[in-house]
Amino acid sequence: MTVSTASVAHETQGQDATEFRLLGTLTVAHGDTFVPVTSGKQRAVLAALLVHANQCVTAEDLIEIVWSEPPRTARVTLQNYVKRIRHILGSSGSSVYNRLISQPSGYLICASDDELDIRAFTSGCAAGHRAATAGNWELAVSRWSRALSLWRGTPFADVPSEVLAAGERCRLQEMRLQTLESRLEMYLRLGCHAEVMAEARLLVAAEPFRERLHEALLLALYRSGQRAEALAAYRSIRGQLASEIGIDPGPALQHLHQQILNDDPGLWEQRRRYSKIT
């Protein structure tokens, strides 16, 4: 069963908003009230339901998410977890109690997209890509920055579930890195070389084998008049790739290096004066 998010919005109209935050520790906030879910396994159940909000998650899937080796009493224990979650969320005075619905095959939780940080993040990333495709680089940066600001740490940081960690956490982290890379490229198109250098240095240190980050750093250095530093940065990543992975830089990074060696005028294409994004 799928529940319309429009009906959820109608049912909660006039009430304090409930926020479900998964881009970090699992946090439920109803207005100014934070609702603690102290049990790790109950957090795993709630997180799994929120990831698939407005869709039924079968009891079998929830059991797999919660336990690596399910006990014989897993189904009954799961029912008790759901009851406990209803009680915890309902005690805040929110409408969440009525949104956690039992189905013949499992459970679902009703939530609108603007109540879920993971939905807001993914929709913001998509909006940024649409703006970039349309050539509106300022809007793309604004949309991506807003989406990235929702991150508070590692997704599901306090949710003890290997299934969620291997699936949703990895997917969201990869989406975040791709969005950071795309935003750096848009900043370069807008002429924000200093901003790109500062951010790219931090990202390269954290993710040393993502070549798009190195491309952004090299181009920012070159456009900032630091040609020698750009060439040194290329030698550094080339050496690191060779010694730690046994490969050469990819074609795009090699081509950029050759352009820098040749002082290729094409390195200045698409440079624009930066207008501050609000």
Q: What is the reported pLDDT for 92?
A: 53
pLDDT at 179 over 50: yes
Parts of the chain belonging to CATH 1.25.40.10: 190-278
201: number of Cβ within 10 Å: 15
Q: Which CATH architecture has domain 190-278?
A: Alpha Horseshoe (1.25)
What's phi and psi for 55, nearest 5 deg?
-130, 145
| pTM, full prediction | 0.87
Summarised one tens digit per residue, pLDDT across range 228-263 is: 999 999 999 999 999 999 999 999 999 999 999 999
pLDDT at 10 over 80: no
Q: Which two tokens stand for residue 170?
A: 């990895």
Helix (H, G, I), strand (E, B) or coil at 170: helix
Amino acid occupying residue 203: L
Count of helices and strands (H, E) across the chain: 13, 6
What's phi and psi for 244, nearest 5 deg?
-100, -25
Helix (H, G, I), strand (E, B) or coil at 54: coil
What whole-number distance in Å separates Cα of residue 23 and Cα of residue 88? 21
Assigned CATH class of 5-115: mainly alpha
Parts of the chain belonging to CATH 1.10.10.10: 5-115
Among residues 123, 160, 148, 175, the alpha carbon closest in space to that of 46 is found at 160
Model confidence at 205, in pLDDT bands (50, 70, 90)?
very high
Summarised one tens digit per residue, pLDDT across range 24-79 is: 999 999 888 889 999 999 999 999 999 999 999 999 999 999 999 999 999 999 99
Task: Give the bridge partners for 35, in sequence order.
Answer: 28
What whole-number distance in Å separates Cα of residue 232 and Cα of residue 174? 28
What whole-number distance in Å separates Cα of residue 44 and Cα of residue 63? 10
**Residues 6 or more apart from 18 whose CB is under 8 A from it?**
12, 28, 29, 30, 94, 95, 96, 111, 115
